[in-house]
Amino acid sequence: MQIFVNDEPVTVGAANLAEVLTELGYTQIRIATAVNGDFVPASQRAARLLVPGTRIEIVAPMQGG
């Protein structure tokens, strides 16, 4: 199915957020995630099922003021 990761269209086979992260190479990485604008804690990623068109945000530490 096609979903959107950080606004980029991506086709994935995985059905939940945890599997999508693995499929896309976000392994052993310090990130946080949101689905359709809502925060999804790491502990809940496997239970978060995705449907076509789902919008995922993946963020990591960045310099800030």
In one letter, which amino acid is 44?
Q
Choice between 16 and 45, CB closer to other proteins: 45
State in angstroms the smallest separation of the CB of 47 from other proteins.
Answer: 16
State in angstroms the smallest separation of the CB of 62 from other proteins.
Answer: 4
Identify residues 32-51 at the interface with other proteins (CB under 8 A). Answer: 32-34, 37-39, 41-42
Burial of 3 (0-12, 13-18, 19+ CB in 10 A): buried
Q: How far is CA 3 from CA 22, 61, 64, in A?
A: 15, 24, 29
State in angstroms the smallest separation of the CB of 48 from other proteins.
Answer: 14
